[in-house]
Amino acid sequence: MKKIYFIGALLATSLSFGQATLPYYEPFNYTAASNLGAQGGWVNVNTGDEVLVEAGNLSYTGLQASLGNSVKFDGGGIDPQQAFTAQTSGIVYSSFIIKVVSVTGVTDPNGGYSYGLADTSTNFASTVWIKPLGAGFQFGINKATATGDTQYLPTEYALNTNYLVVIAYDLGATKASSIWINPTNLGAVSAPASTLTTTTGTTDRTQIQRVFLRQDSATETASVVIDEIRVGTTWAQVTPVPLGVAENNISGLKVYPNPAKSSLFVTSDNFEAKQVEIYNVLGKMVLSTTVTNAPVNVSTLSSGVYMVKVTEEGKTATRKIVIE
């Protein structure tokens, strides 16, 4: 069934020991109607209603094909959290597809947050907020959780519509939180201009090591379906495009030697940075790096056939290679 069972098994194996490694991908390949908590490394925080696995997945045009199922929740209840390797510098990105089903119960004028990054189980960052607007709703972003610091986008978004949302937290000097709604330049080396970036608030984080789902209360949390969660340290890691998209758009692309043993060279007519992702035959990404006129170290990969996806200035191409 679309090879999701193999990928799900690999994810379950790698996450059962606690922290996930980055880049992290969650397709919710779990049994429909089951509790998310305690599956795939998710740990429940707080008490109340569980976040449930929803049959079927959400998709977004231009993004890598969705796998598995999704999750659905609303109101107050348990907040599942996924830990990953702590990041103390650079920018941490996370993406997900969301469908807001209803905001009828959201009567708090400040709205509420349903998703975000975190340092600890209670110290949150780049939280994504939702509140009613007209016949639809608004998205908001907050550096932490203080209601007065939430910055809402003026756009009225439609209910029961899939949106690709990307958030970021800058661990550098700015400590800024950013949000993108249906962004362009999927799979690019560099992030496009954000839909909104905020530095409002005095609560700064020095590390990011969790992603979470939030069921705050009956008056704050909208009814939502969320799918295809990704966390990474580059824009390309959280906005992957299908393998083969824009094939041959990179002028003069060469990937050699093939077969390769310890090093792989990726060159083109352009000397710009290249995002290189390598996938095994099961479709799992096993290596991700950015290079500029430097070899890619493939010495840790097992012998076999792999697909290499190269992204340069928004253009993407794939090549098949053999590792000896």
Listing DSSP states for 171-187 in one string gives -SSS--EEEEES-SSTT
**CATH 2.60.40.10 domain position(s) in the chain:** 254-323
What pLDDT, on the 0 to 100 scale, is given for residue 111?
98
**CATH 2.60.120.200 domain position(s) in the chain:** 24-237
In this predicted structure, the answer to whether residue 16 has a pLDDT above a threshold of 90 is: no
Average pLDDT over residues 167-180: 98
**Stronger pLDDT, 77 or 3, i.e. the higher one:** 77
* pLDDT tier at 280, thresholds 50, 70, 90: confident
What pLDDT, on the 0 to 100 scale, is given for residue 243?
65
Name the token pair of 245: 């998209």
91: nearest Cα among 180, 142, 167, 202: 167
Average pLDDT over residues 237-264: 81
What pLDDT, on the 0 to 100 scale, is given for residue 12?
36
What pLDDT, on the 0 to 100 scale, is given for residue 246?
45
In this predicted structure, the answer to whether residue 283 has a pLDDT above a threshold of 50 is: yes
Average pLDDT over residues 135-155: 98
In this predicted structure, the answer to whether residue 14 has a pLDDT above a threshold of 50 is: no
In this predicted structure, the answer to whether residue 17 has a pLDDT above a threshold of 50 is: no
For 117, the 3-state DSSP assignment is strand
What pLDDT, on the 0 to 100 scale, is given for residue 150?
98
| Burial group, residue 54, by CB count within 10 angstroms (0-12, 13-18, 19+) | buried
Tell me the pLDDT of the chain averaged across its residues. Answer: 90
Answer whether 158's CB lies under 8 Å from 75's CB.
no
Average pLDDT over residues 237-244: 81
Question: Residue 14: CB partners within 8 Å, gap ≥ 6?
Answer: 20, 21
Task: Tell me, letter by letter, the H, E, C secondary structure of 92-126.
Answer: EEEEEEEEEEECCCCCCCCCEEEEEEECCCCCEEE
Summarize pLDDT for 122-138 with one digit per residue, the tens: 999 999 999 999 999 99
What pLDDT, on the 0 to 100 scale, is given for residue 6?
32
In this predicted structure, the answer to whether residue 11 has a pLDDT above a threshold of 90 is: no
Reported CATH class of domain 24-237: mainly beta
Residue 30 phi, psi (nearest 5):
-125, 165
pTM of the model: 0.74
The domain made up of 254-323 is a member of CATH 2.60.40.3080: no
Average pLDDT over residues 69-84: 98
